[in-house]
């Protein structure tokens, strides 16, 4: 029996479902019927933590969840995000209290629900003190429109300042064998404060798979070709040798490389919950099964040593992407 993991006062299966790629970021959106079928299949398998955002597909990800799953709302823990939004087809960044409250109302309508279990600030807003933004989220808790507050892509200082205003249930950070930045500070801070660490892109945006994604085949709308330099031609070939050891370890464990990557995140702490996204029913099931894979301490140490942060070739984000996050960086990253 797989033990569930805690987010605030709730318990969820150790692997959640990220709902970005069905509408957004890695190429064209899934056809509507396929996206809805994937969401239904996720619940049928036993996924009970769905993570979406206002930004994904400019609201379409939320709408698909509402349309496909409104009659099964009691079966899953629902998370969405505000602050990164959209207006006239363009992305916006706005954490003013009135904007957060309006965004929540819009998300509730798209999701066809009365309450969002976990509502994150998708990014910090440099023009609004985080205390003001969290104060607005606390009002939404009091009004019963959201149950818990989360943060995303923020560092320890923002977490502690936010937590002083209202308990923070979850911090979402990119965390994988290929991206170890939470280990600088935020992981320990989450453990200290009783905050769940929700690991997004735990399969390295498709890098930690066998075979890994092929940048030469990216659709023109795939953000990996423009925002994430590790996938750029001058960097990607230098990262591929990292996978040789991952394949060897996966063979020893008896799982896929993607499952190994997920099992590694699960081994990094009982408060870590990976949320891989996928457009594939096969990968959906494969990721689900990773929740039951336990790695030995020796295997975790071996993977830690092989995937040292400085071995990754290229920065995590381009300059624009990095400018809107406050997750701590390694010293070597600041010189890249």
- The tens digit of pLDDT for each residue in 221-241 reads 999 999 999 999 999 999 999
Q: 3 lies in a domain?
A: no
Say what the alpha-carbon torsion angle 236, 242, 243, 244 is, to the nearest 10 degrees. Answer: 130
- The tens digit of pLDDT for each residue in 90-109 reads 899 999 999 999 999 999 99
Q: 2 lies in a domain?
A: no
Structure tokens given for 15: 């692997």
Q: 86 lies in a domain?
A: yes
What is d(CA 263, CA 15) in angstroms, rounded to the nearest whole number?
9
Average pLDDT score over residue span 22-43:
96
Give the catalytic positions in this structure.
56
Look at the pTM and tell me if it is higher than 0.95: yes
By residue range, what is the domain housing residue 93?
9-334
Number of domains in the chain: 1
pLDDT at residue 125, rounded to an integer: 97
- The tens digit of pLDDT for each residue in 237-285 reads 999 999 999 999 999 999 999 999 999 999 999 999 999 999 999 999 9
pLDDT band for position 87 (cuts 50, 70, 90): confident
Q: Give the DSSP H or E segment for 7.
A: strand 5-7
What is d(CA 183, CA 202) in angstroms, rounded to the nearest whole number?
14
CATH of the domain at 315: 3.20.20.100
Q: 154 lies in a domain?
A: yes
Q: 4 lies in a domain?
A: no
CA nearest neighbour of 228 among 210, 209, 201, 247: 201
């Amino acid at each position: 029996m797989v033990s569930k993991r805690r987010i605030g006062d709730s318990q969820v299966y150790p692997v959640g479902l990220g709902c970005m790629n069905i509408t957004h970021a890695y190429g064209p959106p899934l056809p509507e019927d396929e996206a809805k079928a994937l969401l239904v299949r996720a619940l049928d398998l036993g996924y009970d933590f769905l993570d979406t955002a206002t930004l994904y597909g400019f609201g379409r990800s939320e709408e698909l969840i509402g349309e496909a799953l409104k009659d099964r709302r009691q079966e899953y823990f629902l998370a969405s995000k505000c602050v990164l939004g959209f207006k006239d087809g363009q992305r916006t960044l706005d954490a003013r209290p009135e904007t957060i409250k309006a965004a929540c109302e819009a998300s509730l309508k798209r999701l066809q629900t009365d309450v969002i279990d976990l509502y994150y600030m998708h990014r910090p807003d440099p023009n609004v003190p985080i205390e003001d933004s969290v104060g607005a989220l606390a009002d939404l808790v009091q009004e019963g429109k959201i149950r818990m507050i989360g943060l995303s892509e923020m560092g320890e200082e923002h977490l502690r300042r936010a937590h002083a205003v209202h308990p923070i249930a979850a911090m979402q950070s990119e965390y994988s064998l290929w991206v170890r930045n939470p280990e600088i500070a935020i992981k320990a801070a989450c453990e200290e404060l009783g905050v769940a660490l929700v690991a997004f892109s735990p399969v390295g945006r498709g890098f930690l798979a066998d075979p890994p994604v092929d940048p030469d085949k990216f659709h023109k709308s795939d953000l990996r070709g423009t925002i994430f330099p590790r996938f750029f031609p001058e960097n990607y070939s230098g990262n591929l040798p990292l996978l040789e050891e991952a394949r060897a370890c996966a063979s020893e464990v008896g799982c896929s490389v993607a499952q190994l990557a997920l099992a590694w995140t699960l081994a990094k702490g009982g408060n870590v919950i990976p949320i891989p996204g996928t457009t594939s029913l096969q990968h959906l099931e494969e990721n689900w099964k990773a929740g039951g894979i336990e790695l030995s301490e020796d295997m975790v140490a071996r993977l830690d040593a092989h995937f040292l942060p400085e071995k990754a070739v290229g920065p995590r984000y381009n300059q624009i992407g990095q400018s809107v996050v406050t997750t701590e960086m390694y010293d070597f990253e600041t010189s890249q």
